Each structure stands twice: as structure tokens, then as C-alpha cells.
Structure 1
Amino acid sequence: MIKIYHHPKCSKSREGLAIVEASGKPFQIIKYMDEQLPVPTLERVIDALGIKPMELVRTNETIWKESYKGKTLSDNEIIKALATHPKLIQRPIVINGKKAIIGRPPSNIKSIL
């Protein structure tokens, strides 16, 4: 089943959800701002995306700039920051089987549906 990690207040995430809905395929919405993602889940998402944890960080967010920018952080520390501050997670993320993509731009999502 397709999973979309979604933040309803984000316009790109809403566009991504519309693309998933238009596919007509069954999907699950995970509102990760409401129910924070545990570290093991984030690790699986990062593995599915095939990226380094830093590539999932929204570096323009205030919390990143104030608490993390300029520090040398390990991958584990970055993942813990993402788990603690879900606002830092790029969005939307769509997973379909073993494939995953960050929907920036949202049209990228079509490639895994």
C-alpha cells in the first residue's frame, strides 16, 4: 500500500496528496506532525529514499538555524533531531513498496505511482 507522510498545513504536501488521491490506488496518510515518527521509522524512511539523513532536513526552519546549524552532527544525531522536531522533515514523502520519493516538486510523486 502507498504511504504518504503528510503535513496538511504545507501547500506542497497538499499538492502531493492530491496526486496520490488522483492515482485511484489505495493509500495511507501518516500525519507525522500529529504523531511523531520514532527513530526506527525515520531510519526506514531514509533507507527507502536512499539518501543521507541531512538530505531530509528542512535547513531553513528556525529550529534548525537556532539549534543545529553550523554543528557537526552524526547521522544518528540528525535523525534524533528529525524525530524530536518533525517540522524539520522534508514533505511530502511518498512510499510505494520499496520505492520512496520526496515530493518536491510534487510532480515527482507520479514517478513511483
Structure 2
Amino acid sequence: MSVEIWHNPRCTKSRETLALLRQKGVEPEIREYLNETPSVDELKTVLGKLGFDTVRAWMRTKEADYKALDLKNEADEDRLLAAMAAHPKLIERPVVINGARAALGRPPETVLGIL
């Protein structure tokens, strides 16, 4: 099993999700997505694996960048993805990816369904 976590070590939920994976015997590949920013294509792929209907469902809408970029009024999904790639703080975390499936670790136990 090849599991990856898009992780922010400063985030409590991200740390809890990583600890839960390890508790279950899974040592994921850790991608600190703020330093290794995903491309628009990677974001599209993971969005499909998450099963969300819209990009906005995966965005941190309370982030300062969200407000500064006036994304509340943006309807174009590709522009929202481009904003996430350019400003990775907009990506809701943590994301755990296992093959063709992904889950958002909010709450952390949610990721257990894709293992």
C-alpha cells in the first residue's frame, strides 16, 4: 500500500491524522505541500479522488489569501485551482491519498475509509 499525506506540521488535524495513520501501521509518504506545492493538474487529480463536486469544497475559505484574491466571487473552477496552486495555504488539509482514492482528514478518522 502506497499512501501519501499532504501535510502541514503546524496544523493540529494534520498531525493527528499522521499519528492515526502510524497507529494503524501505515507509514505514509509525507508531502509538506506548502513547500512542495502541487500543480494544477495534481490538484485536479486529487479533487477527483476526493469526490468533491466543486473546488471550493476543498478550499480554506477563511484564509486571508481567499479574501485578498476575492475568490468568493470567482465561479471559474480552473481559476480556483490556479489560485490554490499559487497560494497553497488555500488547500484544506490534511489530504491522504491511497491509489485511486483520497480523503480529507477532518476529522482524522475519515481517512480510515480509504486504507
Q: Alpha-carbon deviations, 1:17-45, whole Å to 9, x = none?
A: 11111121342111100111111111111
TM-score (norm 2): 0.92
Q: How many residues in Structure 1 have an aligned counterpart in Structure 2?
A: 113
Match of 1:24 in 2: 25
SS of corresponding position for 2:73:
coil
Unaligned runs of 5+ in 2: none
Quick check: 79-88 or 65-74, which moved more? Answer: 65-74
Q: How does 1:28-43 map to 2 (within 5 A)?
A: 28-43=29-44
Q: Contact conserved, 1:82 with 1:88, CA < 8 A, in 2? A: yes
SS of corresponding position for 1:3:
strand
Quick check: 81-90 or 18-27, which moved more? Answer: 18-27
Identity of aligned residues (%): 38
AA paired with 1:91? R
Query: 4+ residue stretches of structure 1 with deviation over 2 A?
Result: none
Match of 1:103 in 2: 105
Unaligned runs of 5+ in 1: none
Residues in 1 aligned to 2:70 and 2:7: alpha-carbon distance in whole angstroms: 24
Q: Contact conserved, 2:74 with 2:80, CA < 8 A, in 1? A: no
Residues in 2 aligned to 1:90 and 1:69: alpha-carbon distance in whole angstroms: 15
Match of 1:44 in 2: 45
Aligned counterpart for 2:74 among listed residues 72, 80, 86 = 72
TM-score (norm 1): 0.93
